[in-house]
Structure 1
């Protein structure tokens, strides 16, 4: 198992982010057309630990309904076990102030998911390890990890852009700021949803 600190890993991710930025310029010049919309707001995902198989990381561009272009790094995992999962969204409500929507599960039973993809603004973890890491693979040639089905059909997806993949990943104290996420399946034992006044985000 190879170990990599996230500060170093972030430097590796830079080419994917740069590729997304190049796509942004192409869209601005009319070379590409937007294929989907996001709200543009970020939400937070936290976990005590995540272990998974089939990691993929590549650059992408999302678009808001107002036409704002948002370069992101897509992080995908084929199958994962997540301990202490928490997802939170902060809603500013006129007159009433801020409210927080939180999704959590049973801390004694891990969540399991398949075909999970995060469109990431920022990702941090205190510890992280990768197995059989490939850096520089073409995004259209990923084999250990996958491309999100929605991205593969998008004009924003460049199959020749740089990507990363790994056969297995383990992270602890995961903290993610994301603009979008998609999961093929999620099993969350003891799922709880709360909507309370104030800023009660996962981190």
Structure 2
């Protein structure tokens, strides 16, 4: 999420999510250049921020893609993203915020902030979760990670084990492009920017939604 709307592709700012090596970051950039295509719907012209104390997810996969849509003023938008998928995930103390700038009638900017899974409530639960992420900061731990997997082979772990997570349904990606996978991923002190999130199930315990003027209510 950003309070400024930008068109075009910010290749120099492309940051790979949850990658424990510089070589892996470079390889995902190569995967994008080889023709990974975008999500199953046109994204809005606004990024949003997500903050969480912890994300615990299973059957993690990740590959490069492009989020496409239009900016708020109608210009073409094509943004490189790292698509991260989980068959199941639990999120503690989730906060999501998005700023809409320059509203009419001299209202200025307005921040929409959503919170769930905080103290006294169950963790947020998501099934078949996919995140189109442009930036991420976190402490990450992976279990049985494979780096450099062909995107078309994400569902097949060594030994023939099939997982529920692969390239997101109704999307396209280069089957020979760079990807990675892990049986489990735990991210702590999460701060990320994203263009889109999709999930088959999304349970938010203790949901709070607030609107406020300006940008001071952003999650971070």
Please confirm whether the aligned pair reaches a TM-score higher than 0.5, indicating the same fold: yes
Counterpart of 1:45 in structure 2 is: 50
Residue 130 of structure 1, aligned match among 133, 138, 142: 142
Q: Counting helix residues as a fraction of each chain, which structure ranks higher?
A: 1
Q: Deviations over 1:32-89 (max 9, x none)?
A: 8997422232100110001111111101122223433222110111101110011111
With structure 2 as the length reference, what TM-score do the two structures score?
0.77
**Unaligned 5+ runs, structure 2:** 1-17, 156-162
TM-fit CA distance, 1:107: 1.0
User: Which residue in 1 is equivalent to 2:191?
Assistant: 175
1:97 is aligned to 2:108: yes
Q: 1:201 to 1:131 in 2, by over 3 A?
A: same
Give the conservation status (yes or no) of the 8 Å contact 2:111–2:212: yes
TM-score by length of 1: 0.83
Residue 139 in structure 1 maps to residue 151 in structure 2: yes
Distance 1:141 1:87, change over 3 A: same
- Cα distance in 2 for partners of 1:34, 1:131 equals 27
Q: Note the aligned Cα RMSD (angstroms).
A: 2.2
Q: Is the 8 A contact 2:63 2:83 kept in 1?
A: yes
Aligned mates of 1:165, 1:7 — CA distance in 2: 10
Deviates more, 1:93-102 or 1:164-173: 93-102
